[in-house]
Amino acid sequence: MDFPIVHTNFWDAVLAVPVVLVLTQIAKVVCPIPRHYVPMLAVLLGLIISIFYSHRGNLWAGVFMGYFYGYAAIGNYSSLRTAVRHLRNDKEN
């Protein structure tokens, strides 16, 4: 089995993760999604965007990068949320 060749371009580096993050937040506002399903939604959106848009011709590259899109969006949201909480606690104290 050969590993897929994955080329990282501008879309991967700058646009895909924020798109997944924004779509996940919109889905949270529009649909009443339980909190424990939101990370799974982000990974599914990352996979859909990667397989059907970014890496259309190569399924394995799409799956590989789709997981990165989803998990990077989860990590960015989590780190931003933690930083905001910390700043709010510092202001209160």
- DSSP at 89: H
* 71, 46 Cβ separation under 8 angstroms: yes
Whole-number pLDDT of residue 57: 86
* 69-80 pLDDT per residue, tens: 999 999 999 999
* 39-52 pLDDT per residue, tens: 999 999 999 999 99
Whole-number pLDDT of residue 38: 95
Specify the 3-state DSSP secondary structure of 28. helix
Is a pLDDT exceeding 80 seen at residue 10?
A: no
Number of C-beta neighbours around residue 45 at 10 A:
22
CB within 8 Å of 13: residues ≥ 6 apart: none
Q: How confident is the model at residue 91 (pLDDT cuts 50, 70, 90)?
A: confident
Residue from 11, 7, 4 nearest 49 by CA = 11
